[in-house]
Chains A and B, each alone.
Chain A
Amino acid sequence: MIGSSRSYAIGMAHFQLGGGWRTVYIVLGVYMLLFFGGVGIFYYEKVQADAVGQPFSVVDASGVLLMLLMVLQGFALLLVGGARVSNAIRLDLSSNMIESHRLMPISSGRAIWGYLVGPTTAVILFSLLNALMSVMFGTIEGQPLERMLINQGVIFAFAFFVWSITAMGTFVYRQIFGFVVAGIFLGTCARLMALAFVSVPGLSLLMTPFTGETIFTLGAGRPVMDVEYAVGIAGQAALFLIFFAASCRLYRGIAETAFSTLLGTLLLTVWAGISAVGIGHSIAHPQAMGRGFGIRDVPVAVQVVASLATCIVLSVTPLWAFVRQDRLRPRSGIAAAGVVALTACLVCLPIAGATQAHEFNGSALLVSLLSAGAQVTVVYAMLRIMRGTKFILAMIVAGGVMGMLWFGPLVLEAMRINWFSNGRDMEMSVLGYLSPIALLAQKWSSETAKLPAVQSLVWQWIAAGLALGLVALSKRAAAARARKRGFLAVPALPVAVAVKAEIPQFESPSHGAGSGQG
């Protein structure tokens, strides 16, 4: 166990539960045997080849071996380490040991640190040995020491970043790690991961092991990735701290939401900032991005729209925290307007990275701000109406409404073209451009604007106004119920749900999971 004082009691317990030092010795012993066995076979093949005068490329063979060691490193740190963190938290939640921990004079931060380094001690020691072997073997075979060290640093930093997300995710939903691994596997098979990787440059920067030609490739042509790694690791560190703080909130089991309004805002800021840097870097050095997936050139418009879309999705975190806190301690409408305005501005932060793009202009910036403002207002209104329900239900409703706003006009437009084209080519009409996605894509593409953005923006703000009207209606209905007048006169199901939500109440904490988490 890394550390053994009171601070690490929880980690120490999980280290013991994982087999303790006995498991460490066995794993390291078996690894050493396999490693030196592999090296022995490698030199045996070389000697045999030399004896019969056949060509034997030491560089190629060592490259394969080093790649295998790096893959093993990734497997151990990301999959095994992540699973161990998740299992440890899940065990404590399901056995109720978490309550025993909460009774101890151990701060939330120390407890979460224990979950990160306790169950993974054996994995960390194994990976350190593996790193040492890789560096030694690579250096002997002529690989640059600097590159070997950077690769190891990148994978270790990424692992801690993944573990912090895993810890928080497991507190929210115990089986999350399995679903995430399955999702990544399926996403990779379907190349959706590649699409996400190149369309969202922020993701490309954060996934440092896969940035450029990935740390798993030791080919001679790999570009130097110092800047990308520096930005990526800085982003990982910031997000690590945010997820760590959210885990601490969930550990106590009494927080309304995983993220407070401040934490949610910080999360959005960091992500939007990384997206901005990613877009800028992608424009300046297109060859550095996405090469791990074999995709090089992606239009700036796609990157801007995709990054804005991810920011709007992420805007749920500060907004949900705000509406939930507002339910217990009501705040003024000005505070709500301020949070929505700030969130809308942050959502547009990725645009800062597109200043070098030749499509960048004041009009595109203004349209993006106004569109983001309308969309964030709709998200806020939906969450405000659904704030008394479970997070997942609120997300489904908000996601459904946003889906209709984004894709509804495009679907209708596709149907119109399909029915009325009669085999002729038809251009997109104003109906299609009512979708914020179509509007922003047009604004950020090099194409000449076919239609003015006014109609689209007016429609988006009408939708936002309707959503805010529903909020006002729900407030009135709640007030009516409070006066025991009943609410028969109030139409619409969402309002009825909102009436219940309006009554101030304190949720029961449920070991970090369930209602209110998000």
Chain B
Amino acid sequence: MENGITNGEETFGGQGGALQGQPGRPQGAVLLEIDNVTVRFGEFTAVKGATFELHGGELLGLIGPNGAGKTTLLRAIASLQATAAGSVKVLGREVGPGDEEGARMIGFTPDVPPAYEALTVRQFLNFVAAGYGITPENTGPAIDFWLEKVWLTDKAGQKVKGLSRGMRQRLGIARTLLPNPQIILLDEPAAGLDPAGRVQFRKLLTDLRDQGKTLIVSSHILSDMEEYCTHAAIISHGAVMKFGTVREVSTGTDTGRCRYLVELAAPVVQVAEMLSGIDGVSAVQAERLNVMLEYDSDRAEAAVLLRRLMELGLPVAGFTAQKAGLEEAYLRAGIKQVD
């Protein structure tokens, strides 16, 4: 399964190799099985019967509003959260709190990664390496490798308290990747990163994915997730509403309908009522010069719609079919913000 650069017994990471494959295709055995995982806080159920499985080389994006249960699900998978029901299996073996073997296989970076403020970056990673039993002769090279991967090489001697939020985020990612886990869980990993950092981070994720690792990433940046995720899951009120490959989730709601953006050259009075009167048009939302509506997704039918708009005398300056994507799927799911 490992396919990274090695130094003696340890594998630090790396790119490409035998397990490299196309995103979205299973690349080996089922690495992670989530079966009916339920988490309760008193009478409140934060995660309701989450069930899915992931193979090596698959990267799952968790999508959902704040408070939907994404973080709780990640914590439950990482054995940091007690579950009221269900099981988490890694390579067919059930894992839970205090399971040392399971801890070696799962890495988790919370949205605000903790670190000892008074230690330097290298001292902190030395401690992490000791905690995972990485041999002293491999510790130095492994730390150098991951510091370079998260662009913190020049900060190795700096104390953690002097790092910016983005740097702490990267240090947290390095802490997670240092012991080379097979399953990597990242909660809002790009939240503190600048634009260049996000680009580099996407590259890092695709590298890890292509090495055959299983990743789960929770994020609100759906455009980014479309680029690197092989799978997506939409969570609302603790329940996994949709799960599948990014393509499946994106087009899974395809009922032969598509959202169209109509841009007007000048405001039109009662344009929403006019458009609602067209056969087959629904969900009209007018906002000054822009009108969103739903209509048949067939290209020929789109041409018919455009002709009808012209016949109505509307000053159409633009007419765009909205591409099916995660954002579209998320909006179509009709999820309301959790209080």
| Contacts of B92-140 to chain A: CB distance below 8 A | 97-98, 100-101, 103-104, 106-108, 110, 112-119, 123, 127-128, 130-133
Residue in A6, A101, A503, A506 whose Cβ sees the most chain B Cβ within 10 Å? A506
Let me know if B114 and A105 touch, CB within 8 A. no
**For the complex, would chain B's binding face be called helix, strand, loop or mixed by DSSP majority?**
loop
Q: Contacts of B133 on A, CB cut-off 8 Å?
A: 5-6, 105
Minimum CB–CB distance for B324 against chain A, Å: 37
Of the residues A4, A12, A107, A507, contact of B100 by C-beta under 8 Å = A107
Q: How far is the CA of A505 from the CA of B38 in the complex (A)?
A: 12
Closest to A98 in B: B114
Is B291 in the interface zone, CB < 8 Å from A? no
Q: Contacts of A106 on B, CB cut-off 8 Å?
A: 100, 103, 131
Q: Contacts of B107 on A, CB cut-off 8 Å?
A: 103
Q: Contacts of B113 on A, CB cut-off 8 Å?
A: 100
Q: Contacts of A351 on B, CB cut-off 8 Å?
A: none
Of the residues A101, A505, A509, contact of B43 by C-beta under 8 Å = A505
Is B186 in the interface zone, CB < 8 Å from A? no
Let me know if A16 and B42 touch, CB within 8 A. no
Q: Contacts of B42 on A, CB cut-off 8 Å?
A: 505-508
Of the residues A10, A503, A507, contact of B131 by C-beta under 8 Å = A10
Is B78 in the interface zone, CB < 8 Å from A? yes
Of the residues B104, B117, B127, contact of A13 by C-beta under 8 Å = B127
Let me know if B98 and A108 touch, CB within 8 A. yes
Let me know if B116 and A95 touch, CB within 8 A. yes
Closest to A4 in B: B130
| Contacts of B23-49 to chain A: CB distance below 8 A | 40-43
Let me know if B100 and A16 touch, CB within 8 A. no
Is B82 in the interface zone, CB < 8 Å from A? yes
Is A96 in the interface zone, CB < 8 Å from B? yes
Contact string against B for A residues 1-28, beta-carbon threshold 8 Å, 1 for contact and 0 otherwise: 0001110011011001100000000000
Closest to A254 in B: B82
Let me know if B84 and A506 touch, CB within 8 A. yes
Q: How far is the CA of A104 from the CA of B133 in the complex (A)?
A: 9
Is A102 in the interface zone, CB < 8 Å from B? yes
Q: Contacts of B175 on A, CB cut-off 8 Å?
A: 100
Q: How far is the CA of A201 from the CA of B116 in the complex (A)?
A: 44
Is B80 in the interface zone, CB < 8 Å from A? yes
Q: How far is the CA of A100 from the CA of B176 in the complex (A)?
A: 9
Q: Contacts of A393 on B, CB cut-off 8 Å?
A: none
User: Known contacts A6-B132, A103-B107; is A254 also within 8 Å of B118 by CB?
Assistant: no
Which range holds the interface residue count of chain A?
A: 20 to 34
Minimum CB–CB distance for A70 against chain B, Å: 33
User: Known contacts A17-B118, A97-B116; is A104 also within 8 Å of B97 by CB?
Assistant: no
Which range holds the interface residue count of chain B?
A: 35 or more
Let me know if B115 and A97 touch, CB within 8 A. yes
Q: Contacts of B115 on A, CB cut-off 8 Å?
A: 97, 100
User: Known contacts A6-B130, A6-B132, A106-B131; is A13 also within 8 Å of B98 by CB?
Assistant: no
Let me know if B97 and A252 touch, CB within 8 A. yes
Let me know if B131 and A6 touch, CB within 8 A. yes
Let me know if B131 and A99 touch, CB within 8 A. no
User: Known contacts A6-B132, A6-B133, A99-B110; is A105 also within 8 Å of B127 by CB?
Assistant: no
Of the residues B82, B101, B118, contact of A509 by C-beta under 8 Å = B82
Q: How far is the CA of A506 from the CA of B85 in the complex (A)?
A: 10
Residue in B104, B115, B117, B127 whose Cβ sees the most chain A Cβ within 10 Å? B127
Minimum CB–CB distance for A169 against chain B, Å: 22
User: Known contacts A16-B123, A95-B117, A507-B42; is A104 also within 8 Å of B103 by CB?
Assistant: yes
Q: How far is the CA of A246 from the CA of B117 in the complex (A)?
A: 29
Contact string against B for A residues 477-518, beta-carbon threshold 8 Å, 1 for contact and 0 otherwise: 000000000000000000000000001011111000000000
Q: How far is the CA of A508 from the CA of B104 in the complex (A)?
A: 25
Q: How far is the CA of A252 from the CA of B98 in the complex (A)?
A: 7
Contact string against B for A residues 78-110, beta-carbon threshold 8 Å, 1 for contact and 0 otherwise: 000000000000000001110111111111100
Closest to B120 in A: A16
Minimum CB–CB distance for A231 against chain B, Å: 35
Q: How far is the CA of A496 from the CA of B114 in the complex (A)?
A: 41
| Contacts of B156-199 to chain A: CB distance below 8 A | 175
Let me know if A103 and B108 touch, CB within 8 A. yes
Let me know if A107 and B98 touch, CB within 8 A. yes
Minimum CB–CB distance for B194 against chain A, Å: 24
User: Known contacts A95-B114, A99-B80; is A505 also within 8 Å of B101 by CB?
Assistant: no
Of the residues A12, A16, A17, A96, contact of B114 by C-beta under 8 Å = A96
Residue in A100, A108, A503, A505 whose Cβ sees the most chain B Cβ within 10 Å? A100
Q: How far is the CA of A105 from the CA of B131 in the complex (A)?
A: 7
Minimum CB–CB distance for A69 against chain B, Å: 32
Let me know if B119 and A16 touch, CB within 8 A. yes
Q: Contacts of B100 on A, CB cut-off 8 Å?
A: 105-107
Closest to A515 in B: B42
Minimum CB–CB distance for B114 against chain A, Å: 4
User: Known contacts A99-B110, A102-B80, A505-B42; is A9 also within 8 Å of B118 by CB?
Assistant: no
Contact string against B for A residues 280-309, beta-carbon threshold 8 Å, 1 for contact and 0 otherwise: 000000000000000000000000000000
Closest to A106 in B: B131
Let me know if B116 and A13 touch, CB within 8 A. yes
Q: Contacts of B97 on A, CB cut-off 8 Å?
A: 102, 252, 254
Let me know if A97 and B114 touch, CB within 8 A. yes
Q: Contacts of A102 on B, CB cut-off 8 Å?
A: 79-80, 97
Let me know if B103 and A17 touch, CB within 8 A. no
Q: Contacts of A96 on B, CB cut-off 8 Å?
A: 110, 112, 114
Q: How far is the CA of A402 from the CA of B130 in the complex (A)?
A: 50
Q: Contacts of B41 on A, CB cut-off 8 Å?
A: 506-508
Residue in B100, B103, B130, B132 whose Cβ sees the most chain A Cβ within 10 Å? B130
Let me know if B119 and A17 touch, CB within 8 A. yes
Closest to B127 in A: A13
Minimum CB–CB distance for B280 against chain A, Å: 46
Closest to B72 in A: A508
Contact string against B for A residues 212-241, beta-carbon threshold 8 Å, 1 for contact and 0 otherwise: 000000000000000000000000000000
User: Known contacts A13-B116, A17-B119; is A103 also within 8 Å of B78 by CB?
Assistant: yes
Q: Contacts of A105 on B, CB cut-off 8 Å?
A: 100-101, 103-104, 131-133
Let me know if B103 and A12 touch, CB within 8 A. no
User: Known contacts A106-B100, A505-B43; is A100 also within 8 Å of B130 by CB?
Assistant: no
Let me know if A506 and B132 touch, CB within 8 A. no
Q: How far is the CA of A503 from the CA of B43 in the complex (A)?
A: 8
Of the residues B106, B110, B131, contact of A101 by C-beta under 8 Å = B131
Q: How far is the CA of A506 from the CA of B72 in the complex (A)?
A: 14
Q: How far is the CA of A93 from the CA of B124 in the complex (A)?
A: 17
Let me know if B132 and A104 touch, CB within 8 A. yes
Q: Contacts of A5 on B, CB cut-off 8 Å?
A: 130, 133
Q: How far is the CA of A467 from the CA of B97 in the complex (A)?
A: 38
Report 27 cross-chain contacts, Cβ distance below 8 Å, ordered by A residue: A9-B127, A9-B130, A9-B131, A10-B131, A13-B116, A13-B119, A16-B123, A95-B114, A95-B116, A96-B112, A97-B114, A100-B114, A100-B175, A102-B97, A103-B106, A103-B108, A104-B132, A105-B100, A105-B131, A106-B103, A106-B131, A254-B82, A505-B42, A506-B42, A507-B42, A508-B42, A509-B81
Binding site for B on A (CB under 8 A): 4-6, 9-10, 12-13, 16-17, 95-97, 99-108, 252-254, 503, 505-509
Known A5-B130, A9-B127, A99-B114; further 18 A-B contacts with Cβ < 8 A: A6-B133, A9-B130, A99-B110, A100-B175, A101-B131, A103-B80, A103-B103, A103-B106, A103-B108, A104-B128, A105-B100, A105-B133, A106-B100, A106-B131, A253-B80, A506-B41, A506-B42, A509-B82
